[in-house]
Homo-oligomer: A and B are copies of this chain.
Amino acid sequence: MLGFDSDTYASVVGGAGARRADIERIADAATEAGYDNLFLIGSGGSYAAMWPYEHLITRSSTLAVRSVIAAELVTAGDPRLTERSLAVFSSLSGTTKETVAALEYCKAKGVTTIALTGYADSPIAAADHIVVNWADDETAGESVDIQLLLLTTALLHRRGEFDAYPRLADELADLTGVLTAVQEQADPQAAAFAKRHADTDYHFLVGAGNLWGFTYNYSMCILEEMQWLRTTRVHGAEFFHGSLELIEKDTSVLLFVGEDESRPLMERVQRFTDTYNDETTVIDTSAYPLDGISPEFRGLIAPIVVDAITIRFSKHLEAARGHALTTRRYYRTVEY
């Protein structure tokens, strides 16, 4: 497949699943020490990566949880953030300025801190606990999603709110085969999309449930940041309260459809675009067999499946548009 490095992929995906023992040690330590609430902290894509797990906890646990932009937390504060708080940080490079500042802010308050990073010697690794799995920009999604799913369900398991944890962790042990098959199946759809939309300058993205974070991420961090394409992004439940008026027959619409409780919200959006739009691309995890994954976990891992599907879209867009995913005008290029 175009731009696919199977060794890297196996190392990142298998490596993430193999962090299980580290993650369980951290979950045990946190549970033993006790905590009142959980903060999920990042910036940009690493912030949006937290949303599926805030969503999971919000709908299935009574644990107080908040995903928050690192810079906003430091600026505004939160009286709930105390020495009885648990805070999870994610930064692949480990150097994201605002996220490192938020780590220092939390440590000064006596918060128990956990950092996910690709580099054990990076600034974010000053956290109380670290989970290290190297990834590159393209595979960071899978790496972080697998680790956050393990970590949050391990915490819920120890609260008596997610009995299925051991079986889920077994199935997450090495998703390389499952996700490579996903990429292979997605490749023709992605190639056709990139060919058809090589000159399209605006895309309209809709997602919901545990795919809403990814929808935001793909809009902001891939299409806007890495392809300089104009986009709008809207939650499937909000689509009908404003943004829908922009849809014309030839508007490029991307729908991210998962298998959690939000599926009916997205099916409603899809019925609308079936009627009023001719350029809708549906990325639907239910179309993928996911051999070895139990039906009960399919909804939970949809963010990981969509990570894999959309790598194909990004790679084909890069080629069809002649715009490298790594080109930046500003980010880490100029001072601001």
Contact = CB atoms under 8 A, between A and B. Distances in A.
A254 to B, nearest CB: 15
Interface string A210-241: 00000000001100111010111111011011
Given A75-B264, A232-B231, A265-B71, A45 B202 contact: no
Contact of A237 (B55, B78, B98, B220): B98
**Copies per complex of this chain:** 2
A246 interface: yes
A91 to B, nearest CB: 11
Contact of A238 (B43, B276, B329): B43
Contact of A241 (B43, B66, B262, B275): B43
A245 B58 contact: no
A209 interface: yes
A232 to B, nearest CB: 6
Interface string A236-272: 0110111111110000000000001110110010011
A276 B246 CA distance: 28
A201 to B, nearest CB: 9
A268 B336 contact: yes
Given A44-B238, A76-B262, A330 B220 contact: no
A70 B247 CA distance: 23
A54 B71 CA distance: 18
A71 B61 CA distance: 19
Contact of A79 (B62, B243, B268, B331): B62
B225 A242 contact: yes
In this complex, the member of A202, A221, A245 whose beta carbon has the largest number of chain B beta carbons within 10 angstroms is A245
A242 B265 contact: no
Contacts of A72: 208-209, 235, 237, 262, 265
Nearest to A260: B76
A275 B335 CA distance: 11
Nearest to A59: B76
Contacts of A221: 241-242
Contacts of A238: 43-44, 47, 69, 220
Nearest to A97: B240
A152 to B, nearest CB: 15
30 contacts: A43-B237, A43-B238, A44-B240, A45-B242, A58-B66, A58-B78, A58-B80, A59-B77, A62-B80, A69-B235, A72-B235, A75-B209, A75-B262, A75-B264, A76-B260, A76-B262, A77-B261, A202-B202, A220-B238, A220-B241, A225-B241, A225-B242, A231-B232, A232-B232, A240-B336, A245-B329, A245-B331, A268-B336, A275-B336, A276-B330
Given A64-B64, A231-B232, A232-B233, 14 more contacts: A44-B238, A45-B242, A59-B78, A72-B235, A76-B260, A77-B261, A202-B230, A224-B246, A225-B245, A230-B232, A244-B331, A245-B328, A247-B329, A272-B336
